[in-house]
Amino acid sequence: MSQTVHQPVLQIEGLSVAVEGKEIIRGLDLTVRGGEVHAVMGPNGTGKSTLAQALMGHPRYEVTGGRVTLDGEDVLEMSVDERARKGLFLAMQYPSEVSGVSTSDFLRSAINARRGEGNEIPLMEFVRKLDRALKALEMPHDMAGRYLNEGFSGGEKKRNEILQMMLLEPKIAILDEVDSGLDIDALKIVAQGVNEMLSERLGVLVITHYQRLLNYIRPHYVHVMMQGRIVKSGGPELAEELEAKGYDWIKEELGIVDEAVGQEA
């Protein structure tokens, strides 16, 4: 008996992105499929977070060239909320605080926005899902009653991002520096949350500065970003090599003097 599992595909071709007139990403290609974990690594200032923000559609990031499709649909034509409703998710490096809005009310609104009118999640189902996710992330129960990210510690905010991902069940999740500000125990819990979700239905793009997250979320593919492009790709062993040897050998290999954006090779 065969069951059709929808395997999502995010395809990025020749993507170029500018911020305030300055081109940060120039001609980036990457394809992420359901069931795959891709890690985008690289030193600071090479355009990693710009990639994340541009894919989600942040208004300050201007796409100047290329194509992005999710399951064949043009992502760049969609508004931010449409992208989300189509299954794109970004766990942010600096999540916003929204006073007066409880985390659980927000989550329920977000889930219902995704599900559409007339198909709202039944309250009990929501409560069950929320409880399960809170437990998995070892978050205290009262966290859901607190105002969204207000007064949360850095670690709590990151867990809250993963909590949202678990409840929204995206097709493609981008995790932007989700490891920053987390101690090792919290990192393990967050990684555990992500790993639990991994299936053919979910593709993950992990953006990280450090290799240590990849000890817990094992990537299938590792990409190194420099000067706004992917300059090297490989398997998980590439991450280990970077951990052991740093980035300089890649720069030497490719003849790059300054890896930051805007510096020509």
Partner 1 sequence: MVHEVPVSSEYRYGFRDRDVSVYRAPKGLNRDLVIEISKMKGEPDWMTEFRLKALDIFNAKPMPTWGPDLSAIDFNNITYYVKPSERRGRSWDEVPEEIKKTFERLGIPEAEQKFLAGVSAQYESEVVYSSVKKELEEKGVIFLDTDTALKEYPELFREYFATVVPPSDNKFAALNSAVWSGGSFIYVPKGVKVEVPLQAYFRINSENMGQFERTLIIVDEGAFVHYVEGCTAPVYTTDSLHAAVVEVIVKRGARARYTTIQNWSNNVYNLVTKRATTEAYATMEWVDGNLGSKVTMKYPSVIMKGEGGKADILSIAVAGKGQVLDAGAKAHMLAPNCTATIVSKSISKDGGAVNYRGLTMFGKNAKGSKANVKCDTLILDDRSISDTIPYNEIKTDDVVLEHEATVSKVSEEQLFYLMSRGLSEQEATQMIVMGFIEPFAKELPMEYAVELNRLIQFEMEGSIG
> How many Å apart are CA 150 and CA 193, to the nearest integer?
22
HSE-up of residue 188 (Cα within 13 Å, Cβ side): 3
Q: Which CB, 59 or 151, lies closer to partner 1?
A: 59
Nearest distance from residue 89's CB to partner 1, in Å?
8
The piece of 25-33, 101-109, 179-187, 198-206 that touches partner 1 (CB under 8 A) is: 101-109
Q: Is 83 an interacting residue with respect to partner 1 (CB under 8 A)?
A: yes
- Nearest distance from residue 114's CB to partner 1, in Å? 5
The number of beta carbons lying within 10 Å of the beta carbon of residue 61 is 21
User: 17, 66, 89, 133: which one contacts partner 1 (CB under 8 A)?
Assistant: 89
Question: Which CB atom, from 75 or from 256, has the smaller least distance to partner 1?
Answer: 75
Place of tokens 């951990």: 243
**Closer of 76 and 168 to partner 1 (Cβ):** 168
* Smallest gap from residue 237 Cβ to partner 1 (A): 33
Burial class (CB in 10 A: 0-12, 13-18, 19+), 159: buried
* Residue 114 near partner 1 by CB under 8 A: yes
Instruction: By CB under 8 A, tell whether 17 contacts partner 1.
Output: no
CA angle 216, 221, 60 (to 5 degrees): 90
Residue 153 interacting with partner 1 (CB under 8 A): no
**Looking at 20-28, 114-122, 177-185, 240-248, which segment touches partner 1 (CB under 8 A)?**
114-122
Q: Single out the residue of 32, 31, 23 nearest to residue 54, CA to CA.
A: 23
Pick the closer one to partner 1 by CB: 84 or 222.
Answer: 84
126 belongs to the binding site for partner 1 (CB under 8 A): no
Q: Give 130-135 contacts, CB < 8 A, sequence gap 24+.
A: 130/104, 130/167, 133/163, 133/166, 133/167, 133/193, 134/163
Question: Rounded to whole angstroms, what are the CA distances from 199 to 103, 161, 172, 194?
Answer: 26, 19, 11, 10
- Based on the shown chain and the rule CB under 8 A, indicate whether residue 197 belongs to the binding site for partner 1: no
What is the nearest approach in angstroms of partner 1 to the Cβ of residue 53?
Answer: 9
Q: Shortest approach of partner 1 to residue 44 CB, angstroms?
A: 21
Closest CA to 47 of 67, 26, 63: 26
Contact region with partner 1 (CB under 8 A), list: 18-26, 79-87, 187-195, 249-257: 79-87
How far is residue 249's CA from residue 235's CA, in Å, rounded to a whole number? 17
Does 164 contact partner 1 by CB under 8 A?
A: yes
Cα–Cα nearest to 16, from 35, 29, 1:
29
What are the backbone dihedrals phi and psi of residue 106, each rounded to the nearest 5 degrees, phi first? Answer: -60, -45
CB of 105 to partner 1, least distance (A): 4
Residues that bind partner 1 (CB under 8 A): 56-60, 79-81, 83-85, 89-90, 92, 94-96, 98-101, 105-106, 108-110, 112-114, 117, 120, 147-148, 164, 168
